[in-house]
Amino acid sequence: TAENRRADRAAEREQDRTDREHRQAQRAQRGQQRRARLATLGRWVTARPVELAMAAIIVVPALLAWTAMATYGREIYGPIGVLLPLFTEAAMWAFAAKLHQARQHQAPTGWLQMGTWAFTAVAALLNYIHGHALGGIAVGLVMAVVSVGGVVTHQILTAAPMQARRSRTDRQAARTQRLAARRVTRMERVALRQAVGELGTDGTVSLLHQPGTVTLARAWTGRTRLDRRAVPGLAADGPTSPATPVADAVEQWLSVQPDPATESSPTDTDSTSALEWAESGADLQESTPAPVSIPEPNRRSLDTLRTELHRAVSDGVEVDPTSAESIRKTLRCGAKTARRLRDEWNDGSAAVAA
């Protein structure tokens, strides 16, 4: 009927309008996306003018050299000679790319650098021969420089950055550290040569070193050795704690006292007498004994200690006359006296005095 036809036409018009709006929305969306991509590209180009210039310097010589080598290969090998750039140009670029990747991953680059510059030299030589055949030396040089210009530029850009120049103070500190490290290395090598070995039950040997303060010296043969050197405040066998006069006096007093382990314990008679005296009810205040004074210790003179040290060394007693701690423990004397005896022994005056 007429009413149905009018309804169908109205529905078609509505569908056409909906389709037009959908197409317009799609065109607007595509236009917006295109403008966004162009804006992103513009920002990228604006932010990298130097990189783009360098890219042109790299790409343009590569294209020129590639076409030149393809022409030269066709002249030599025929139609298949157009593949010659795959050997000359592509080889050096492959090594250059692999070298850049190795630098980024901090991998060894020695052989890659050798390969890069070897194929660069091959490409330059072949381009020079081609150019020389075309127009002489000048043309050959131009073609050789153009062929390797891209790779050289790429290597300069991707090489490791140069370190900033250090200040004078930093250079002096670094030089001092190097000198100290070299001296430590020399002393360790000499100490290794002078070390003695301790053989274990399993047949292995452990190196033993005698501790102390040492310095490098040379024998009359010119060979280096380690000599002990007395340092103020340090013993020859290492640092010792400073001893005070009170500590020396206490150590001397203890050295002359009898061993408490050897003293006899109180007897039963003494215990009984003490008990009877307590039960007698005596006046404690009147019977308090006078305080016992500590007897003056028997002090040994320095000459006596020298003689005892010399006798101990001669008798084979386990004492190290070059160690203040060993002298102190053996002679039971103060640390200050032990250091003086050690210094005299090292100077050679102890043996003369004895």
pLDDT tens readout for residues 143-159: 999 999 989 988 888 87
% of the chain exceeding 90 in pLDDT = 32
Tell me the per-residue pLDDT of 202-230, one tens digit each, with 9 for 90 and over: 989 999 988 888 888 888 888 888 888 87
Residue 292, pLDDT > 70, answer no
Across 3-7, 124-128, 236-240, 318-322, least confident range: 236-240
Distance of CA 332 to the CA centre of its chain: 46
CA 324 to CA 230: how far, in whole Å? Answer: 11
Give pLDDT, residue 317: 77
Query: What pLDDT shows up at residue 235?
Result: 57
Which pLDDT score is estimated for 353?
46
| Cβ neighbours for 240, distance < 8 A, ≥ 6 positions apart | 234, 324, 325, 335, 339
Backbone φ and ψ of 309, nearest 5°: -65, -45
**Cα–Cα distance list, 111 to 118, 120, 337 (Å):** 10, 14, 67
Q: What is the pTM of this model?
A: 0.42
pLDDT in tens, 265-287: 444 444 444 445 445 544 444 45
- Answer whether residue 244 shows pLDDT above 60: no
What number is the average pLDDT over the span 73-88? 91
Reduce the secondary structure of the chain to three states and give it as a string. Answer: CHHHHHHHHHHHHHHHHHHHHHHHHHHHHHHHHHHHHHHHHHHHHHHCHHHHHHHHHHHHHHHHHHHHHHHHHHHHHCHHHHHCHHHHHHHHHHHHHHHHHHHHCCCCCHHHHHHHHHHHHHHHHHHHHHHHHHHCHHHHHHHHHHHHHHHHHHHHHHCCCCCCCCCHHHHHHHHHHHHHHHHHHHHHHHHHHHCEEEECCCCCEEEECCCCCEEEEECCCCCEEEEECCECCEECCEECCCCCHHHHHHHHHHHHCCCHHHCCCCCHHHHHHHHHHHHCCCCCCCCCCCCCCCCCCCCCCHHHHHHHHHHHHHCCCCCCCCCHHHHHHHHCCCHHHHHHHHHHHHHCHHHHHC
Residue 193 or residue 2, greater confidence: 193
Determine how many CB atoms are found less than 10 A away from the CB of residue 89: 27
Please give the pLDDT value at position 253. 63
Crossing angle between the packed helical segments 335-347 and 245-256, to the nearest 10 degrees: 90
Least Cα distance to 324 among 231, 226, 253, 256 occurs for 231
For the ranges 123-127, 184-188, 255-259, the lowest mean pLDDT is seen at 255-259
Which residues contact residue 98 at a Cβ distance below 8 angstroms, ignoring those fewer than 6 apart? 112
Sequence ranges of the domains in the chain: 49-158, 177-197+218-227, 230-257+297-354
Sort strands 214-218 and 224-228 into parallel, antiparallel or unpaired: antiparallel
